[in-house]
Structure formats: C-alpha cells, structure tokens
Amino acid sequence: MRRVAKFLLAAAVAVPLAAVAASSLTLLFLPHGHGGIGFDDLQFSPALKRVLVPSGRTGLLNLIDPKTLAIESVNGFSTQAGFGGGHAAGTTSADSGHGLVFASDRSRKTVDIVDPVRLRILASAKLGGAPDYVRWVDATSEVWVTEPARKVIEYFKLDGSGVPALVSQGTIPIADGPESLVIDGTRGRAYTHTWHSTTVALDLQGHKDVAHWSNGCVGARGSALDEARGLLFAGCEEGKATVLDVTHSGRIVGSLDTSGKGVDILAYSPSLAHLYVPGGDTATMAILGVKPDGSLQALATVLTAADAHCVAADDVGHAYVCDPKAGKLLVFTDTLPATK
C-alpha cells in the first residue's frame, strides 16, 4: 500500500529561499511503516536503477523506481512488533552486484542474497557478529560486511556456479571502528572510518589497511565518494562535512560546518556535484555544492524530521531522506543548479 502527497518545498527551506522555490517534496509511505521503521543505510543502485531501502523491523527490503516512485518489496527478513527507535532489528543495509542484492539481517546476524527480479531471498550466510554496512566489491566478486562490535570487516566470496552462495574468506581488523564503508573500484581501495578522527584506506585485493588519514572530524560517521575526481566525503557527527583527496595521501581539501547536529549517513550526486548532509538531531539537511578542487559551498538547508539521519541520491535529481518515526521517506527533488 502506498500513499504519495506533494508539497511545495519552499515552505520547508531555511536558506536560500529563491534558489529552491521551484523544488518539491514527496512523502513516500512504505509498506507496514505506520508503526515506525528502523532505517539506517540507504543506497541507489545504478545497475538496477532502483533505490535500495532496507526497512528495519518491517521485515521488508523495499526497492523504489526513481522515475515513478513505485515500490516493490522483498519479504522474509526478521520482523519486530514495535518500534522504539534505533536500527538494531531486521535489515538495515544493502548493496547490489552481479545482478543480485546483498542485504543484512541484524536480528539473525546474516547477510542474505536477494533476487531483485523475483523479489525473494535465495540464500543466507551466517556472520561472525552483528552487521552494519554491506558493500559489493566488483573487482573481487566479494561482499564486505562491517561488524563494529568485533572491530572487523568480514568478507565473503560469491559462488555463482549454481545457486548463489556467499563463503566467508576472513576478516580485516579495524581498531576503533569500522564505521561506514565505501568502495573505490577505480583505485582498488575501500574506505572506512574509526569512530573518531581517522579514515582508513584498505586494499581490495590484499584485504589489509594501507593508509590512515586524519579526516577533520571529532566523531566520524558516514561517507560518500566522487570516484571520478577522487574525493572522499566524511560526515562528522558534530555537524560538519569534510573532503579528502584520495589521490594525494588523503589530504583535507574541503570542510564546512552544516549546523546540523547528529550527522550520520551522507549521499552524493555526481551529476549535480551536490552533497546531502542530514542532521538527525536538528531535523535538517544541508545541500552542499562540491567544487572541482573539493571545496564546499552551502546551497540550501531543508527541514526534514526527527532522527532523519540517512539519505540516498539517485540519478534523476532526487534525495531520499528517512523519517523513522513516521515510517516514510521524504523525497526531495533537487532543482538547484549543478556545481561547477
């Protein structure tokens, strides 16, 4: 069941009003979301042309068509009767690769293989600990899963010779982490944070850390990547975004205070060069322009919802912000000019 309502975004804009007066906000209510949803990681899959929305306690992985906002759902994940906040139950992270979707189940401590066409779970692999981020590594046909309680990333090889299966290959230790995970196929690297001020670069083939960089945060949280330009974005819980140049030893080339406290998940639009930085504590989201040199400029701040700490950006100009208490997504249409 889906209900969609549209409103002018101008009423929800803090600055600058003139630049976003023509934008719109769509409220996208998700199946079984009326009791609240434990959202966390949201992802856009360019290959599948779908936004992947793991929907916590509902037991559903929702797939959204960016052009129509139609919702398809995969069931079979763990459910929870009530929502008391947080995102400790069910599926909360997913990524795609090899024509499949790989999604966590925090309650069962598994990573599940999903057929996005038949909309069903094909197989599950047991994890060594509670999962956080799930990411596909195309270069090695692997799935990496962060397990913060164990301070490791566990990695699995995809066996696609018959019924798809994931086979655990080992772990990568991350002291004081890992928080967030982004894959850089161009450079054969992955990037994760400690919970404080360090970003760790990992070699995809060697499964080991190869560099530690200061990211300028007090409490590092989410990340995003402009792979073409080699710019890695770090979200700082205290209300800031920073930019690291991964081609030049991770030096900080941009930093901006967003005034949005409780920053967690980030999203980036390569076509617009816009970075989306929600502040869950302040119920706002900053839209930042990213210059070619990595410097940041404030474009607008929009009102969101309490604990709206996660966001994804598609390839048609939408930013999807989670609204956990209402069990819905706030879909902003970004009509601000691309940053050059």
Same domain, 201 and 334: yes
User: What is the CA 79 to chain-centroid distance, rounded?
Assistant: 21
Same domain, 49 and 26: no
**In CATH, what number is assigned to the domain containing residue 104?**
2.130.10.10
Q: Is the pLDDT of residue 10 over 60?
A: no
Q: Is the pLDDT of residue 236 over 50?
A: yes
Same domain, 236 and 308: yes
Q: Is the pLDDT of residue 81 over 90?
A: no
Q: What pLDDT, on a 0 to 100 scale, did the predictor assign at position 15?
A: 40
Same domain, 10 and 104: no
Q: Is the pLDDT of residue 83 over 90?
A: no
Q: Is the pLDDT of residue 5 over 80?
A: no
Cα 214 from Cα 82, distance rounded (Å): 40
Same domain, 159 and 43: yes
DSSP 263: B
Same domain, 253 and 315: yes
Q: What pLDDT, on a 0 to 100 scale, did the predictor assign at position 208?
A: 97
User: How many other CB atoms sit within 10 Å of the CB of residue 211?
Assistant: 14
pLDDT digit string, tens, across residues 148-200: 999 999 999 999 888 899 999 999 999 999 999 999 999 999 999 999 999 99
Q: Is the pLDDT of residue 20 over 60?
A: no
For the entire predicted model, the pTM comes to 0.93
pLDDT band at 18 (very low <50, low <70, confident <90, very high): very low
Work out the mean pLDDT of the chain and round it to a whole number: 92
Half-sphere exposure (Cβ direction) of 192: Cα atoms closer than 13 Å: 31
Domain tally, the chain: 2
Same domain, 334 and 226: yes
Give the domain range for residue 51.
38-173
Q: Contact 263/228 with Cβ under 8 angstroms? A: no
Same domain, 54 and 149: yes
Q: In this structure, is residue 325 part of a structural domain?
A: yes
